[in-house]
A and B are shown apart, each in its own frame.
Chain A
Amino acid sequence: GDSVTQMEGPVTLSEEAFLTINCTYTATGYPSLFWYVQYPGEGLQLLLKATKADDKGSNKGFEATYRKETTSFHLEKGSVQVSDSAVYFCALGPQAGTALIFGKGTTLSVSS
């Protein structure tokens, strides 16, 4: 079945460092891909999305490109801030499905 694999954390960075969180997927057809973020004590919120191959989603300085040839959707940010500390979830919306499939989440901790 469809699935999402993302790098295990925690990821610990200093402020202004470059961030990459890897995400790969397995799916039939043409899924949509998402990154959701969970701040401490809260539910998840959508960070960015891409609906077809070569689309780039971006928001708040974060970017991810839908790469069908490598089945990947890696999250990147050029310069992280302390306020970016959170858990990041890669998710897949199956072509024929009605619910998202989430990865296990990657905890990011940014120190000043």
Chain B
Amino acid sequence: DGGITQSPKYLFRKEGQNVTLSCEQNLNHDAMYWYRQDPGQGLRLIYYSQIVNDFQKGDIAEGYSVSREKKESFPLTVTSAQKNPTAFYLCASTHTSGPRNSPLHFGNGTRLTVT
């Protein structure tokens, strides 16, 4: 079955360390997204990519970086510059026509805890 795989499900890091969250999809989607979910804050867009080798900042990109070297993969790095990195991170993808016209497919998320 096609879908989005995020790994690991739980991730623990010490403050000051960079950490990379994996997101892989086999849906042949062009567009991929990273959202951060915090209690009472809903989903906030970190980065998105509509095509390989291109990506754009979302609303809260500071302290994060991404790459899109392959269509299937869109890893997110949480750097030590991110002031409050503990959160639930969700990856999503959709067709080129965009989320207005095609459903966003989400992974099951990675819960990152930084101490």
Contact = CB atoms under 8 A, between A and B. Distances in A.
Chains A and B belong together in one complex:
yes
Interface of A: 31-32, 36, 41-46, 49, 51, 89, 93-94, 97-100, 102-105
B108 A43 contact: yes
A43 B42 contact: no
Nearest to A44: B106
Nearest to A43: B106
B56 to A, nearest CB: 8
Contacts, number: 58
Contacts of B56: 98
B16 interface: no
A43 B99 contact: no
A104 B40 contact: yes
Nearest to B58: A99
B98 interface: yes
Contacts of B85: none
Dominant SS among interface residues on chain B: strand
Interface of B: 4, 6, 31, 33, 35, 40-45, 48, 50, 56, 58, 90, 92, 98-101, 103-109
Contact of B100 (A41, A93, A104): A93
A99 B108 contact: no
A61 to B, nearest CB: 19
A43 B41 contact: no
A103 B40 CA distance: 10
Contacts of B41: 104
- Residue among B4, B43, B100, B105 having the largest count of chain A Cβ atoms under 10 Å: B100
A98 B96 CA distance: 10
Given A43-B106, A46-B104, A100-B104, 10 more contacts: A32-B101, A42-B109, A45-B105, A93-B98, A98-B31, A98-B48, A98-B50, A102-B42, A102-B43, A104-B42
A109 B36 CA distance: 23
A89 B33 CA distance: 17
